[in-house]
Structure 1
Amino acid sequence: MSAYAPDPGRLVGRAAESGRVTALVETARSGQGGALLLTGEAGIGKSALLEHAARAAAGFRIAEASGSEFEREFPFAGLHQMCVPILGLLDAVPAPHRDALRVAFGLTTGAPDLLRIGLAALELATAAAREQPLLFLVDDAQWLDPASARVLTFLARRLAADPIALIVAARPSPAPYVGDGIPAELAGLPVLTVAGLSDDSARELLSARNPLPLDERVRERLVAEASGNPLALLELPRAGGFAPPATSSAPTLVERGFQARLADLTPGARLLLTAAAADPTGDPGLLWTAAAELGADVSRASAEAAATGLAEFTTRIRFCHPLARSAVYRAAPADQLRTVHAALAAATDPAVAPDRRAWHRALACGGPDDDVAEELERCASRAQARGGVAAAAVFLERAAALSLDPERRVARTLAAAQAHADAGHPDTAAELLSTVDTAALDDRRHAEADVLRGRIAFTRSEDDTGPALMVRAARRLAGADPDRARECFLDAVEMGLVIGRAGGLIGQIMTTVRAEAPEPTAPDVLEALIVLATEGHRAAEPLLRAALDGLWTRRPALASMIAAELWDVPTLTTIADWLVATGRESGSPAALRLGLGQTVVTATLAGDLGRALAATAEEQAIAEATGGTPLLYHRLHLAAHRGRRDEMLALAGAATRGAGHVTNLHWTLALLHNGLADHPAALAAARRTDAHGDRFLSVPVLPELIEAAVRCDERALAADALDDLTERVRATGTPSGLGVAASARALLTGVEDHHREAVEQLADSPLILYRARAHLLYGEWLRRRNRRRDCLVHLRAAHDMFARSGAEGFTRRAATELRATGERVSARPAGAAHETLTMQEIAVARLVAAGATSKEVAIQLFISKRTVDAHLRTIFRKLGVTARSQLRGHPGL
């Protein structure tokens, strides 16, 4: 591609693009790393820009990789390519992470841990960069296996403090993608879109590449047909004439050009090129063995094929461009492709590469084959054991297609759909399920399909059919497997609680559950919820407490809802701590992220904003490392607590648009607006949570509903909500619950004793937000009665607690009240860390303050040690400290 210009150091018409690439390389040379994603259609010049980067990186160690459409099913194949040049430094990586990388590369057995693999790759890269600057070049990243792409993105976001540059080239992807067709796994990288050449640049390129002057009409036709695509411009003359401009894209025309080179080849040479195109490894030993199996004269065929310029046959088989490989493969008839794949399967060692052998066997099949299907099923098991859920899904889907036995075909189809759903491809999973003839299924299989459909629906925005599908599955299982049926009914309840309360959904579900759930063999959580729905909190409270014992190990989200309903703050904290500890010990990203999210909520309620921000930063780091989307619920709670209206509304918009739904979205909106004294907006949000009078497991919204209703003179609504809140807290009997109810009662009644009761009950409560609000409401009540001396005590206490906990909206409310008394007050505390540091800086500062080394901080936050040290320099400057020991006890940490 660098031959686009007569001077190999200059790319025609690419001054801006090559300048940006050069700048990235030079910035890395100076010690500040970075990443860049080049996007554009095939042949547009991305590979030429990668070559330009390599030329600019004199003195760098260069590690290259290229995605292959034939290797997307093999987890970590792309990452292995990237790391081969630096694997000699693997001993510099700490043992747990080194072992994780060895597992990923198949060098040892074990289950891969994506978090440790990402950090191991980062540590390996930074070890290499200590010797000399490092440049990663990745071409055709749209074909990287998803696991490698996620690790690559993890690396890209953590290079700022290291002499490492990462440049990735990818075509717009037809697979799950974000804006502009960027593959979903690469989302968030800085993007440079490579557009077509201008007509003048295209003419210059044609002149540079053609020794004889072109007829002007021919030249202009070539320029028009190529539409600015450099590779198309150079290949069109080989394509055997022009195509009507409206019928062919530039990449299609390029493929035609490549295929034109096949026209005069002997059958043996074409067969060899087809076999080379079908083998993604580029291993000549494998190709020569397969060619012999095909009866080809290897020496003659390879020389003839190489003369076309499509591929070179040296120590590694390389095509001149990925489109050339595709063009050769697509030009072969179906029967020849099957023959080629059969030869490659025969040449592949089943002990060394069993999955590739099985895949070649599958592609060689002209119809169903149970032996191959069984082999693919074994491949799927191996892929799942190595963390390749997406690969397992593809193997199982192909196994189902090759299954002769109808029962095995259904079982494999359901397993493939489950794997696709687990891999984050719900649409593919749903499409597979639609191929299953449910009329021929027995109740158990039918229920299995309904459960899977319900879980897929649960991941989709604006799809509330999940609970109904779970109920349908439960009905099918009620007779044959009553315990499993009860679990499906409980799934329906939990889904309904998470989706929300629109249309009286929870009431409908509970009516069905009460009528149809099989009798339990022993008291369980479903029975406790039924009693709660039918007999109220007083009867259900002991059953709910009993059900909480151990529930968080199986259903932590539901356990947290029940603990909140009981105002059981210690249990909420215990659940969060258990999830974090379990996630760290087991390496489970899901448990760790859920635990960190719950930590944010409990820390926010306790007024520990530093801990909440640090947990948020760590959850985000894990989400990025595993290719997930950061959780929203705790971010909503944190933004509402802090009074960040714009941030909150953006998060709320994401919650309603994104996959899945967020529990108590409207509760957090009501909290936000009450804090900002926008009580009409708070009432509107609380009413949406309270739709259809559905208050099942909804106690946190009641204080917000009562305050907003009182302020908006909706006293009947407030009184009704207060009765409900009072019944609940009296059943639980916790001081925190009783204090919150007393504060709400004081708002409605205006009785001073109720204010005093609230302050006294909440005096030792860990719920700083509610304790401060009780003081604020009492102080407001006193000020309006001109009791200045008395009100100042409570308003100052409220202002201090709100300010220290970062509740900016409520702090402003308290400050306004204080100013009304003539006090001079600042709305913000001086020197609080959360006012000056970013979330990640707070996370680093808290860990360092607790005694962690830079290396330990790097491991926990999935960043490099150099990045930790860079953060510390910034933290010291912002906080005006000079030593790690000075961070202990700093305000806001």
Structure 2
Amino acid sequence: MSGATHTAGPRLYDRAAELAAVARLSAGVTAGRGGVLFVTGSPGEGRTALLSRAAHDFPGTAHRVAAPHHRGPWSAARALFAALAPTPAAGRRALRVARGEGGLARAVAALVAGETAVLICLDDLHLWDAHSRAALAAAWQESGGRPDRTGWLVSAARHHRLPEVPGAATVRLGRLTAAGARALLDDLCPLVAAAGPVGERLLDEAAGHPGVLTATVRRLTPPQLTGALPLPRPAVDDSVLVEVYGGLLARLPAASRRLLGTVAVVALAGRTGSGGTGSAAAAVGGDGGSAATRARGRNAPAEPLEGLVADGLLCRRGGGAVGFDDPFLGRAALASARTPWREGPRVPGPPGDPASPAPLGPAADGSDPADRTAVGQAPPADRTAVGAALARGAGHRADRLGPPAGVRGLSPLARGRAQLVRGLAALAGGPVMHAHEALLQAAELLRGRAPVEASDARFLAMEAAWAGGDVAACLTALDGGEEVRGLERDFAEGLSAALTVRLDEARTALTRVVEGDGGTDDPRLLLRAGSAALVIGDTAAAARIHARALVRARAEHRTALLPHALEQLAYAELRAGRYGRAAGTAREGLRTAESTGQYNVAAHQHAVLALVASVEGDGPAVAEHAGRALATAGPHGLVQAATLAEWALARDELGRGLAAQAAARLVPLVRPGPRGGHFALRMLVVPCFVEAAVAAGRVVEARAAAGEYAAWAALGVDGPARAQSARCRALLAEGEAPAYWFREAVRHHDGSGNDFERARTLLAYGAWLRRRRRPGDARGPLRDALVTFERAAAEGWAAHARSELRATGGASGGAAGPGAPRELTPQQQRIVRLVARGATNQEVADHLCLSPRTVDHHLRGVFARLGIRSRVELPGVVDGWDAAARPAAR
């Protein structure tokens, strides 16, 4: 929703979801359930305004507590008790209780005992002292799940590590949409409307940041707003950013301020990272000293550095580096560093600045200092434009760099890095072919000037084209990277060979890449090695290498790279037939992707979850996850995610006996050419299409697809392909020939490692034997299939196998008794256990990445299957399950 959302109190923009979360907290408090809601965001994004609005709207008593300027031990707790206590003496007594055995929870409870409903709004938790934060966390954890009429609404910096609180929810503020920013601009100029070009430039430079936009507009005169006088260049200058971020910077200790300024100078002068955020990074040694500090012959103390990382002002990167995720913060720190603080010496500014004692030495990438074009070591035009480009890398209006004159004034290196940022933003959450074009342009501009970045840009352009299903664009991105050497050259040449169906060449080159994965700990290179393993059909190696890449990304705190690593690992597990692992990885990947704004990755994870749900026979989950994947895949051109989602829907339809509907859905996916499915998935979908088409009577189409699939399976690029090809031939054969092809399929399955596909073949074989009036022969394959489906939690397929087995007159197993967990799908079992622990439908939905409506649908099914009436009975059901499982465990 765009524009303003308000009924009373402070006016907010694009905050409908956040206000809904606050309303849920308020309703819980008035009902006696209490609760904790965290609100995170960058300075100026409206955390304080949201707290003000919540306090204004709360029907009971609301208290607002800001972080004190002094950060000594227990200083924030003192401020809290001063706000809650009727007298100073009562506040001092509460502090003594909080510091003693009573704890903060008891101290707060005593102060608000006379109130029926209390909302405590705590602002800037990241600026609270460690003692107070620890006491608060202990109080929240102690009161979690107990009846309480006290609610806590807590704001913190975006990257501050929040405490683990049972039942707590978190909302993350972000930049405004174009419509929301326009509504804010209109309200900021009620008397003098900003002229068209003026407004566009203000919105562009502010990059959707409400605080920056507000501060910028307030500094302009009416003639400037109407266009009668020119705007400053840039309109969002250093003074604006210091105004927005200065309060946060001013609260820091002097040593931390100096270190932050030093990192800003070096980080924004280094090369733009290609891990997915577009933020710069400054190398930090094991002693905690920054590159800039070591260049001056001093060591930066580790304690201020760790404090800045802990407070979320800096974030760790790969290779022992730190950097800024928020480019505006980096520019504000740079501007503040050039302004002398009373407490300490100045930090060097850019070359040419009379206050700068000496240049910092050669650039990190070896380029000539005269060509440095990042913020802090560039000419003024470059510094302004690159800073604006980095700001737009957060995802708002990433399609424009700035005024044409500013663009023409940039050096090729600066333009290349700005294009790299633009491409990364589109790759994360925009049309992927737009990302492809921007990244190719970045690679050309960076060629010969920043070879490593040029290589990364080309590979990222290939990833964008791959997600978009464009083979020609993939080949274009892989061609022309002469700076690439070693295993990266093998990867590029091998992938090009695979895309042009030169499979022997592809296998030779990509096998070297897979075998060479031990030569690097760089998670980006490991991800490429895992992708190479998938292309040559080695799913086990792909899962192993991608798991290693994930471990390295976590160890190096590569937050922006984590969603991509989880995406690749989930897909590798899916291809290997390990559906439970794929689902767990995809759920984690979905959460990290959404929290970092990588919505294209989130769409792919939804598609993986839809496929897993189709295996489990969970129709509502298939529809929900596939719908979410397609909602993003359509406008962003994510052909790979769309193909996976449609495949999941068809598999679900086939499992429910809707063969004609499934076949109609799969026809476009197996069709070659630009209007078909994804080029890397087309053959994988064929066995499902053949099964659906045969059942629907579309035998001619099924036969043509099976013939093409047989030729592809003979190439040996997919482990289960030979087995599935034999299954297709069995489904199409007549007379007694299917028996031979089913046995051939089972023989090939035994060496392919995908137990689920083997079970599907056994189910089809057993069903054919039963229809041939050979029930005794059918029972063996059907029992084997049933056991495999049950182990894989594929309840829908297991139910089909049980039905076929009963039709032969054999025992089909089934539930162990009334209310046994086997009567429910795995998703329903997870929901039951969460609800039994007291989770609401919304909390279950957040935990499992579903909608509350889907959770409600599952619960109704659970009640019907278990013969119970309400969720109150679920704890007893779960206790019965656990009790029944204990003897077996012993």
Q: TM-score, normalised by structure 2?
A: 0.56
Q: 1:448 to 1:594 in 2, by over 3 A?
A: closer
Counterpart CA distance in 1 for 2:829 and 2:705 is 40
Cα shift at 1:806: 2.7
Amino acid at match of 2:387: A
Contact 1:643 1:675 in 2 (8 A): yes
Structure 1: distance between partners of 2:828 and 2:563: 26
Q: What is the aligned counterpart of 1:568 among 535, 538, 547?
A: 538
Instruction: State the distance in 1 between where 2:679 and 2:22 align.
Output: 60
8 Å CA contact 2:280, 2:323 repeated in 1: no
The 10-residue stretch of structure 1 (798-807 or 719-728) with the greater mean CA deviation from structure 2 = 719-728
Deviates more, 1:762-771 or 1:805-814: 805-814
1:652-706 CA-partner distances (Å, limit 9, x unpaired): 3322333864734323432442353234444454444445437643353343344
TM-score by length of 1: 0.56
Higher relative contact order structure (alpha carbons within 8 Å, sequence separation ≥ 6): 1
Counterpart Cα distance in 2 of 1:837 and 1:82: 42
**Aligned partners of 1:90 and 1:684: how far apart in 2?**
70
Deviations 1:441-486 (A, max 9, x none): 4444333333333222223444522223333333445566777555
Q: Which moved more, 1:769-778 or 1:19-28?
A: 19-28
Distance in structure 2 (CA, Å) of the matches to 1:740 and 1:178: 50
Query: Equivalences for 1:231-246 in 2 at 5 Å?
Result: none
Q: Aligned in 2, Cα 1:440/1:793: closer, same or farther, shift over 3 Å?
A: same
Q: Which moved more, 1:568-577 or 1:660-669?
A: 660-669
**Following the alignment from structure 1 to structure 2, what is the Cα–Cα distance between the partners of residues 473 and 63?**
48
CA distance in 2, matches of 1:740, 1:752: 14
RMSD of aligned C-alpha atoms?
A: 6.4
2:677 pairs with 1:693: no
Looking at structure 2, the residues matched to 345 and 670 of structure 1 have their Cα atoms a distance apart, in angstroms, of: 52
Structure 2 CA distance, aligned partners of 1:42 and 1:539? 59
Task: Write the deviation string for residues 290-314 of structure 1: whole angstroms up to 9, x where unpaired.
Answer: xxxxxxxxxxxxxxxxxxxxxxxxx
Question: Could you say if the C-alpha distance between residues 730 and 249 of structure 1 is closer, same or farther in structure 2, counting changes exceeding 3 Å?
Answer: closer
The answer to whether the aligner puts 1:530 opposite 2:507 as a matched pair is no
Q: Which residue identity lines up with residue 314 of structure 2 in the other structure?
A: Q
Q: Residue 821 of structure 2 aligns with which residue? A: 831
Residue 552 of structure 2: aligned partner = 582
> What residue in structure 2 maps to residue 408 of structure 1?
379
The whole-number CA distance in structure 1 between the counterparts of 2:626 and 2:24 is 36
- Indicate how the Cα distance of structure 1 residues 815 and 330 shifts in structure 2: closer, same or farther if over 3 A, else same: same
In structure 1, the residue matched to 2:523 is: 553
Q: 2:55 aligns with which of 47, 58, 65?
A: 47
2:482 matched to 1:518?
Answer: yes
Aligned residue for 2:328?
393
Which stretch has the larger CA shift, 465-474 or 588-597? Answer: 588-597
Q: Which one has a larger percent helix, Structure 1 or Structure 2? A: 1
**Match in the other structure for 2:395:** 426
Distance 1:563 1:608, change over 3 A: closer
Q: Distance in 1 between matches of 2:461 and 2:23?
A: 56
Aligned to 2:507: 541
The superposition leaves residues 254-278 of structure 1 with CA deviations (integer Å, 9 ceiling, x where unpaired) of xxxxxxxxxxxxxxxxxxxxxxxxx
Deviation string, structure 1 residues 407-465 (Cα, Å, up to 9, x no partner)? 4345545653564466xx31244444566744444444333333333222223444522
Kept after mapping to 2: 8 A contact 1:35/1:167: yes
What is aligned with 2:88?
none
Contact between 2:491 and 2:513, CA under 8 Å: does it hold in 1? yes
Code of the residue aligned with 2:547 in structure 1: it is: D
Q: Is 1:352 matched up with 2:253?
A: yes
Paired with 1:251 and 1:138, the residues of 2 have a C-alpha distance of: 31
**What pairs with 1:397-796 in structure 2 (closer than 5 Å)?**
407-409=378-380, 411-413=382-384, 415-416=386-387, 419-420=390-391, 425-432=394-401, 437-462=406-431, 464-477=433-446, 485-499=454-468, 501=469, 505-510=470-475, 512-513=476-477, 516-518=480-482, 521-522=485-486, 523-548=489-514, 549-550=516-517, 553-554=523-524, 559-589=529-559, 593=563, 611=581, 614-615=584-585, 618-619=588-589, 631-658=605-632, 661=638, 663-677=640-654, 678-690=658-670, 692-693=672-673, 696-698=679-681, 699-711=683-695, 718=702, 721-722=705-706, 725-732=709-716, 736-749=720-733, 751-763=738-750, 765-796=752-783
Sort the Cα spacing of 1:475 and 1:741 in 2 relative to 1 into closer, same or farther, 3 A: farther
Asked if 2 retains the 8 angstrom alpha-carbon contact of 1:640 and 1:668, the reply is no
User: What does 1:162-181 correspond to in 2, within 5 Å?
Assistant: 175-176=175-176
Displacement of 1:737: 3.8
Secondary structure of residue in 2 paired with 1:756: helix
1:101-500 matched pairs, under 5 angstroms: 105=127, 123-126=137-140, 129=143, 135=150, 137-138=152-153, 145-147=157-159, 158-160=165-167, 175-176=175-176, 352=253, 383-385=313-315, 389=324, 391-396=326-331, 407-409=378-380, 411-413=382-384, 415-416=386-387, 419-420=390-391, 425-432=394-401, 437-462=406-431, 464-477=433-446, 485-499=454-468
Q: Distance in 2 between matches of 1:765 and 1:331?
A: 69
Q: Once structures 1 and 2 are overlaid, which stretch shifts more, 44-53 or 544-553?
A: 44-53
Name the counterpart of 1:211: none
1:574 Cα deviation after fit? 0.8
Q: Against the structure 1 CA distance between its residues 652 and 384, is the aligned structure 2 distance closer, same or farther, given a 3 Å change threshold?
A: same
Kept in 2, the 8 Å contact 1:702–1:721? The answer is: yes
Q: For 1:82 and 1:537, how far apart are their aligned partners in 2?
A: 67
Deviations 1:568-611 (A, max 9, x none): 23213313432453355444445555555566556666776655
How has the CA–CA distance of structure 1 residues 41 and 753 changed in structure 2, closer, same or farther, with 3 Å as cutoff?
same
Q: Are the structure 2 counterparts of residues 800 and 571 from structure 1 closer, same or farther at C-alpha, using a change threshold of 3 Å?
A: same
Find the aligned partners of 1:455 and 1:831 in 2 and give their Cα distance.
Answer: 45
Task: Report the alpha carbon displacement of residue 134 of structure 1 after superposing the two structures with TM.
Answer: 9.5
Partner Cα separation in structure 2 for residue 27 and residue 733 of structure 1: 60
Q: How many residues align?
A: 647
Letter in 2 for 1:470: L
Distance in 1 of aligned mates of 2:784 and 2:511: 34
Q: Percent sequence identity over matched residues?
A: 21
List alignment gaps of at least 5 residues for structure 1: 5-16, 55-61, 94-101, 109-116, 184-247, 254-321, 361-369, 846-857, 859-870
* Separation in structure 2 between the aligned mates of residue 18 and residue 524 of structure 1, nearest angstrom: 53
The answer to whether the 8 A contact 2:495-2:532 is kept is: no
Residues 839 and 605 of structure 1: CA distance in aligned 2, closer, same or farther (over 3 Å): farther
> What residue is the counterpart of 1:286 in the other structure?
none
Q: Which has the larger radius of gyration?
A: 1
- How far off is 1:51 after superposition? 8.8
Change (3 A) 1:453 1:882: closer
Q: 1:688 to 1:426 in 2, by over 3 A?
A: farther
**Counterparts in 2 of 1:479 and 1:590: CA distance versus 1, 3 Å:** closer
Q: CA deviation at 1:639?
A: 2.2
Deviation at 1:635, TM superposition (A): 1.8
Confirm or deny: 8 A CA contact 1:65 1:82 kept in the other structure: no
**8 Å Cα contact 2:836/2:878 also seen in 1:** no
Q: Cα–Cα, structure 1 residues 174 and 483, in superposed 2: closer, same or farther, change >3 Å? A: closer
Change (3 A) 1:645 1:464: farther
Give 2:789's aligned residue: 802
* Matching residue's letter, 2:167: A
